[in-house]
Amino acid sequence: MKIAISAESTIDLPKEVLEANKIFVVPFTVCIGDKIFYDGEMTTDEMIEEVKKVKMLPKTSCVNQAQYEEHFSKILKEYDAILHFSLSSELSSAYNNAVTVAKKFNNVKIIDSKTLSTGIGLEALYAKKLIDAGETFEKTIEKVEERIPFVQVSSVIDKLDYLCMGGRCSVLKRFGANILRIKPQIIITGGKITTGKLYRGKYESVLTKYIYDTLRTYDNPDYENVIIAYTTTNNPQFIDTVKEILIKEGFRNIIVTQAGATVTGHCGENTLGIYYINDGNHN
């Protein structure tokens, strides 16, 4: 059986990784002022500049049922079955739309990733590994779903401006956090976004502490893949510093990626996180 891997654009993996693993992507829609585009058509940096220009946050629309039907039908012209990874059902109606459309087909399985961004990517890459090793469609689904609770996804946000602009915190909280130089950690737990530690200080020092804290807290990693995901960065060289830390920790494949418009539109500039599966039994 020829099995395809599919996801929404919120998977946030680099284009070369998507192409190398033949992962098919269907995009969210993004609106900034009077500009409407598919996630991926505008670079993240371009989107940030547009937000500054119009002083309006992006609004995102999930993939609708017609888009899913077209997407799945096109893939099934070449493949026998599809394993589609959807943005957490706790965060978007994309999952429900995909499930509804999948009922029209006999060979499309929708996975609730219970996560976002490249947390979805980790699940998809694991599924691709299983498929390439000759696992059946049913066994691949079973093994992937077993690992979903172990996907570690967290990030540190530099400023609360985007969260406040989006109505997710008060202006007073933003003012206080910025004055005190507080950098909040966000964590995905049970498919929902929660707040972790509140760091304080210069952003790069905070990020270094966050990385070591994460590695100590989630200390049973599968060392095959780790992803450094960021929205924008004021110091590209710091990415190399993060890579060096992860190499010393023993991670074998380090993927660096810039989050797309959908994810960036919610957390804003200078957000960075490390993602990996915290289940060392699969090393």
Query: Do residues 32 and 47 lie in contact, with contact meaning Cβ atoms separated by under 8 Å?
Result: yes
In this structure, the answer to whether residues 40 and 142 fall within a common structural domain is yes
Phi (first) and psi of residue 97, to 5 degrees: -65, -45
Does the structure show a pLDDT above 60 at 177? Answer: no
Does the structure show a pLDDT above 90 at 120? Answer: yes
In this structure, the answer to whether residues 157 and 144 fall within a common structural domain is no
Label residue 181 by pLDDT band (50, 70, 90): low
More confident residue, 245 or 157: 245
- Residue 92 sits in a domain whose CATH number is 3.40.50.10170
More confident residue, 58 or 122: 122
Reduced to 3 states (helix: H, G, I; strand: E, B; else coil), residue 261 is helix
Q: What does the pLDDT average to over 42-63?
A: 88
C-alpha span between 71 and 26 (Å, rounded): 7
In this structure, the answer to whether residues 89 and 202 fall within a common structural domain is no
In this structure, the answer to whether residues 118 and 199 fall within a common structural domain is no
- Domain span at residue 98 reads 3-148
- Residue 275 sits in a domain whose CATH number is 3.30.1180.10
Confidence (pTM): 0.92
Which one-letter amino acid corresponds to residue 97? N
In this structure, the answer to whether residues 33 and 137 fall within a common structural domain is yes
Label residue 59 by pLDDT band (50, 70, 90): confident
Domain count, the chain: 2
Which one-letter amino acid corresponds to residue 87? L
Label residue 163 by pLDDT band (50, 70, 90): low
Q: For the segment 7-47, what is each residue's pLDDT rounded down to a tens digit? A: 999 999 999 999 999 999 999 999 998 889 999 999 899 98
In this structure, the answer to whether residues 181 and 268 fall within a common structural domain is yes
How high is the mean pLDDT of the chain? 90
* Beta pairing partners, 192: 189
Lowest-pLDDT choice from 14-23, 29-38, 79-88, 113-122? 29-38
Label residue 161 by pLDDT band (50, 70, 90): low
Sequence-distant (6+) residues with CB within 8 A of 166 are: 57, 266
In this structure, the answer to whether residues 118 and 166 fall within a common structural domain is no
Terminal CA-CA length for the chain: 27
In this structure, the answer to whether residues 110 and 68 fall within a common structural domain is yes
Q: What does the pLDDT average to over 180-208?
A: 86
Q: For the segment 229-272, what is each residue's pLDDT rounded down to a tens digit? A: 999 887 888 999 999 999 999 999 999 999 998 888 877 888 99
In this structure, the answer to whether residues 89 and 208 fall within a common structural domain is no
Q: What is the pLDDT of residue 2?
A: 97
Q: What does the pLDDT average to over 131-153?
A: 97
Sequence-distant (6+) residues with CB within 8 A of 15 are: none
In this structure, the answer to whether residues 103 and 9 fall within a common structural domain is yes
Q: Give the residue from 148, 183, 200 where a domain finishes.
A: 148
Q: Is 171 exposed, middle or buried (0-12, 13-18, 19+ CB in 10 A)?
A: exposed
Does the structure show a pLDDT above 80 at 219? Answer: yes
The H or E element that residue 72 is part of is helix 65-75
Share of the chain above pLDDT 90, in %: 70
Q: What is the pLDDT of residue 218?
A: 96
In this structure, the answer to whether residues 137 and 226 fall within a common structural domain is no
Which one-letter amino acid corresponds to residue 185? Q
Q: Give the residue from 127, 148, 169 where a domain finishes.
A: 148
